[in-house]
Amino acid sequence: MTKLSVNINKIATLRNSRGGDVPNVVKAAIDIQDFGGQGITVHPRPDERHIRYQDVYDLKPVVRTEFNIEGKPIPKFMDVVLSVKPTQVTLVPDAENALTSNAGWDTLTHQDYLKEVIAEFKNAGIRTSIFIDTDVNLIEAAAKTGTDRIELYTEHFASEFEKGNKAVVESYAKAAEVANACGMGINAGHDLNLDNISFFKQHVPFLDEVSIGHALISESLYMGLQNVVNMYLHRLA
């Protein structure tokens, strides 16, 4: 079964928009796990516009499934990750002031840098993953960094699937096959939702984990968080 890790950034966005501590991200993480979620993902950014660095420390004691921390490996991010020691760190090449993640790593250009960062995390016993597009050359280069997994950036899949172009999944299936052959696990995330997740899961082999936040929280506004988490689990079974 492909694991569901729920990204709770949007819970923090809602909290921050009003001040105070409602909704509470720690309670949300506890509830999501009680509802069957198999992981909690957070993506702190330098401006702390949603998840704050303190949230990461507050969440550590209550995440009893898998804790996945995403972000660009700037010094402050690395310090937090090495202190908290989550199950997994996902390296994302966030551009300055980016609204959301919008590209994967160029693992050819940044290979030496990624090797150094990944070695530090792995020496601390933290599983590593690289956010990446489906370019086979970049995936093969990712394997040379020492990363344990890749996370396929699925925004293009989601947008094309919505237009009716189901053939778009073929490049993701090929990417997963190459990654598996190179000895890496496969995660996926970005714009996956209840409408497209079953198709993606059925056609992309070796899928270890999906990380879903914006769509899942948005869908929960209409159908309830517990119900939506279970709908995803059913589609990923």
Longest dimension (CA), the chain: 48
**How much is the mean pLDDT over the chain?**
96
CA dist., res. 159 & res. 202, Å (int) = 18
Q: Which residues are catalytic?
A: 43, 70, 190
Q: Does residue 42 contact residue 87 with C-beta atoms inside 8 Å?
A: no
Look up tokens 């209409």; give the residue: 222
In the prediction, which pLDDT does 97 show?
56
In the prediction, which pLDDT does 94 show?
79
pLDDT tens, residue by residue, 20-59: 999 999 999 999 999 999 999 999 999 999 999 999 999 9
H or E stretch covering 68: strand 67-71
Count how many domains the chain has.
1
Could you list the residue range(s) of the whole structural domain that residue 61 is in? 3-236
ω into residue 23 within 30 of 0, thus cis? Answer: yes
Instruction: Give just the sign of the alpha carbon dihedral 105, 107, 113, 119.
Output: positive
Q: Extract the tokens encoding 42.
A: 């957070």
Q: What is the mean pLDDT of residues 130-146?
A: 98
H or E stretch covering 173: helix 169-181
Give the distance from CA 130 to its chain's centroid.
Answer: 10
pLDDT tens, residue by residue, 173-212: 999 999 999 999 999 999 999 999 999 999 999 999 999 9
Q: Does the pLDDT at position 18 exceed 90?
A: yes
Q: Does residue 86 contact residue 69 with C-beta atoms inside 8 Å?
A: yes
pLDDT tens, residue by residue, 57-111: 999 999 999 999 999 999 999 999 999 999 999 999 976 555 455 579 999 999 9
Q: What is the pTM of this model?
A: 0.95
Q: Does the pLDDT at position 160 exceed 70?
A: yes
Residue 180 neighbours by CB distance under 10 Å:
15
In the prediction, which pLDDT does 128 show?
98
What is the per-residue DSSP string for 13-50?
HHHHHHSTTSS-HHHHHHHHHHTT--EEEE---TT-SS
CA dist., res. 178 & res. 138, Å (int) = 11
CATH number, domain of 128, equals: 3.20.20.70
In the prediction, which pLDDT does 209 show?
98
